[in-house]
Amino acid sequence: MENHRKRTVTFLTIGLIFMLSGIEYAVILPTIWRYLQILEAPPYFLGLGLSAFSLSALLTGPLFGVWSDRSKTTKSIILFSNLFEIAGNFMYFIGYSKWLLLCSRLVAGVGAGAGSSIFGFLTRSTLPEERAGIFAAIMACRQAGLLVGPAFNLFLRLCDFKLGPFVVNKYTSPGIFMCLLWTLLQFVVLAGYWDVPPISSQGGVVVGKTPIHTCLHAEEAWARLSSFLSAPNFISASRASRELFQSNLFADFLVDFSVSHITEFLREEVVVLLTAQFITLFNQTALETMVTPLTQRYFSFGELGNSLMYSLCGVEVIVGFFFVRWLSSKVADRVVLAVGLVICCTACIWCLVFLCKPRGADLPLSAFIVGVFLQLLGLPFVAVSQVSLFSKVTAEKTQGFSQGVRRSVGGLATILGPLWAGGLTNNLYIMLGMMLALLVMITVSKAGAFH
């Protein structure tokens, strides 16, 4: 029962971590453009600032993953990575120049790289049949952060005072606000996070109790090892072979590590899931980039209209994640993935037909609402199922590194997606046509890999 309680509290702490990441995105995104303008930054700095966070997370994710795989712990990794979030947001608060602002997002992104270690921990500490539901709840926490984040902006925009030599206003206040939240999170992690014993998908170690036969085997193995180590012939042999052992051990490890991972990532189902990760996030961020110019051009939405739209979208996504959490206990992950891909293809076709050439004043708004609704409806299905499937088709002992690679692929997509859509907002046929082609390709590939 004690381990079960620790496991539950730890999962709640992880949910809080992901919620803070959503809040950070929601409080910084609305003001960063004007902040850069005040610092006399050229327009392209907005893209650099938004991409810098994803870039550093992309590069550090696999490194944190390897660390967690080797140490089998994540608490110390989270505490260490949060220091980068604290430092990065404090640099954002200072904001003396556009370069410091850019560096602040790079530094904060390093902290986000620990997400690979967290997903590796979740894989090791959950049973396969419950994994998708837990992933769905964790992802919903980030969406909840995105939803409540704008509410914090209501009082952050009222800030207008000095804190020592620093100016606190509506542009700098998100930095110091997130710095304080990440600092408070350190104490929450210290008090409410445990590296609970892993659960083997083959039925080995179970959280909350250790099988008797495991204890007996451990005692027997220890007795044999102690006897062997104390033998004179072992002592003499170890002296003779120590130099050879030390010279070859690390090289052998590197060869075994690289070969095993190259082989694993070349398997068909792993390639398909990584491709699905890239395509879905590429399309999602491309559509997010396209939405604001479209609402301004066709519907004259201002800040209030866009804020209301994003809030409704957040509610839909959160409901979707919890629906997928329930559905994943009823059907297989590959079925959930197939449903999500079909919905995304339908959304893309709808946008191609109705949004590329608006035919009337009333039709575009209704068509736009349906297109956005369908796109967001498919997101939870694809996001949860592909993470859950990926954790099951890759080795449990290296889940941290594998999840780091998966998140890096997603990070690359979030960088390239806005770049692709940003230059094609006036050529929707090309933009949406390519997105649909990618979706059809991955849907067909999925059918072949998970038949």
Is it the case that residue 234 has pLDDT exceeding 50?
Answer: no
Which of the four pLDDT bands, split at 50, 70 and 90, describes residue 396?
confident
pLDDT score of 286: 80
Of residues 198 and 274, which shows the higher confidence score? 274
Token code pair at residue 416: 């390239």
Total Cβ atoms within 10 A of residue 108: 29
Cβ–Cβ < 8 Å for 406, 274: yes
CA 72 to centroid of chain Cα atoms: 20
Q: With 90 as the cut, is the pLDDT of residue 184 above it? A: yes
**Residue 31 contacts residue 170 (beta carbons within 8 Å):** yes
| Rounded percentage of the chain residues whose pLDDT exceeds 90 | 13
Query: Could you state, in order of their start, the residue ranges of all structural domains in the chain?
Result: 1-198, 263-450
Q: Range with the lowest mean pLDDT among 52-56, 115-119, 187-191, 293-297? A: 293-297
Would you say the C-alpha torsion 209, 211, 216, 221 has a positive or negative sign?
negative
Predicted pLDDT at 448: 63
Q: For position 422, what pLDDT does the model report?
A: 67
Please tell me if the domain spanning 1-198 has the same topology as the one spanning 263-450.
yes
Give the mean model confidence (pLDDT) for residues 34-49: 80
Q: What is the CA radius of gyration of the chain?
A: 24
As a whole number, the mean pLDDT across the chain is: 78
Residue 375 has pLDDT above 90, yes or no: no
Q: How far is CA 92 from CA 24, 98, 107, 194, in A?
A: 12, 10, 10, 31
How high is the pLDDT of residue 358?
55
Residue 204, pLDDT above cutoff 70: no
Vertex 29 angle, CA 94 and 377, to 5° = 155
Instruction: Specify the higher pLDDT residue, 406 or 200.
Output: 406
- Give residue for tokens 């604001």: 292
Secondary structure of 117-165 in the HEC alphabet?
HHHHHHHHCCCHHHHHHHHHHHHHHHHHHHHHHHHHHHHHCCCCEEECC
Residue 257 CA from chain centroid, whole number:
24
Dump the DSSP string for 347-385.
HHHHHHHHTSS--SSHHHHHHHHHHHHHHHHHHHHHHHH
441 vs 84 pLDDT, higher one:
84
Which residue is listed with tokens 């995304």? Answer: 344
What are the φ/ψ torsions at residue 392 (nearest 5 degrees)? -95, -20
The pLDDT-based confidence of 220 (bands split at 50, 70, 90) is very low
β-strand partners of 161: 168
Whether the per-residue pLDDT at 13 is higher than 90: the answer is yes
pLDDT of residue 185: 94
Of the candidates 377, 314, 384, the one whose C-alpha atom is nearest the C-alpha of residue 343 is 377
Q: Tell me what pLDDT residue 207 has.
A: 39
For residue 187, is pLDDT > 90?
Answer: yes
pLDDT at position 156 is 83
Rounded mean pLDDT, 91-118: 89
CATH of 263-450, one of 1.20.1440.80, 3.90.1300.10, 1.20.1250.20, 3.30.565.10: 1.20.1250.20
Cβ-based burial of 427 (10 A; exposed 0-12, middle 13-18, buried ≥19): exposed
pLDDT digits (tens, 9 = 90+) for 318-369: 888 889 888 888 888 888 888 988 998 898 888 888 777 655 545 567 788 8
How far is residue 178's CA from residue 197's CA, in Å, rounded to a whole number? Answer: 32
End-to-end CA distance of the chain: 40
The rounded Cα 369 to chain-centroid distance in angstroms is: 27
Of 406 and 225, the one with more pLDDT: 406
Q: What would the pLDDT profile of 59-98 be if each residue is shown by its tens digit? A: 888 888 888 888 888 999 999 999 999 999 999 998 788 8
**pLDDT (tens digit, 9 = 90+) per residue, 142-175?**
888 888 887 787 788 888 888 888 888 888 888 9
Confidence of residue 450 (pLDDT cuts 50, 70, 90): low
Rounded Cα gap, residues 410 and 188, in angstroms: 28
Q: Does domain 1-198 have CATH number 1.10.3720.10?
A: no
- The residue behind tokens 């396969």 is 128
Q: Could you tell me what percentage of the chain is helix, strand and coil, using 3-state DSSP and rounding each to the nearest 5?
A: 80, 0, 15
* Contacts of residue 21, Cβ cutoff 8 Å, sequence gap at least 6: 112, 115, 142, 145
